Amino acid sequence: DGGITQSPKYLFRKEGQNVTLSCEQNLNHDAMYWYRQDPGQGLRLIYYSQIVNDFQKGDIAEGYSVSREKKESFPLTVTSAQKNPTAFYLCASRAYVDQETQYFGPGTRLLVL
């Protein structure tokens, strides 16, 4: 089955700890995105990548980092510099064709201990 997988489903972070959220897609999509969703709010863009080995900051990149070493994978690291990391994180991908929709993964919920 083609799609986007995110792991883990739930993640707990201790103070001062870096944690990494996984996002994998087998849709052969060029572009990948990370969004953050807070309760009762829309999605806000953290980082995006249009091609392997290249990525750009979104609207709320501070305290986060990413890599894009493979087309299929776009992991997100939440660093200790992110002081309010508790949120629902969604990964998406898109074929590099105009007017094409984004496909979303099931999300990872990050909680701070």
Partner 1 sequence: KQEVTQIPAALSVPEGENLVLNCSFTDSAIYNLQWFRQDPGKGLTSLLLIQSSQREQTSGRLNASLDKSSGRSTLYIAASQPGDSATYLCAVVPLSGTYKYIFGTGTRLKVLA
Contacts (Cβ under 8 Å, ≥6 apart) of 35 = 43, 44, 45, 46, 89, 90, 91, 92
- For the CB of residue 95, give the shortest distance to partner 1 in the complex, in Å: 11
Q: Does residue 94 interact with partner 1 by CB under 8 A? A: yes
Identify which range of 16-24, 32-40, 62-70, 74-82 contacts partner 1 by CB under 8 A: 32-40
Judged by CB, which is closer to partner 1: 35, or 74? Answer: 35
Q: Does residue 44 interact with partner 1 by CB under 8 A? A: yes
Question: Which residue reads 């979303």 in tokens?
Answer: 104
Identify which range of 11-19, 33-41, 62-70, 79-87 contacts partner 1 by CB under 8 A: 33-41
The alpha-carbon radius of gyration of the chain (Å, integer) is 13
Contacts (Cβ under 8 Å, ≥6 apart) of 98 = none
- For the CB of residue 41, give the shortest distance to partner 1 in the complex, in Å: 6
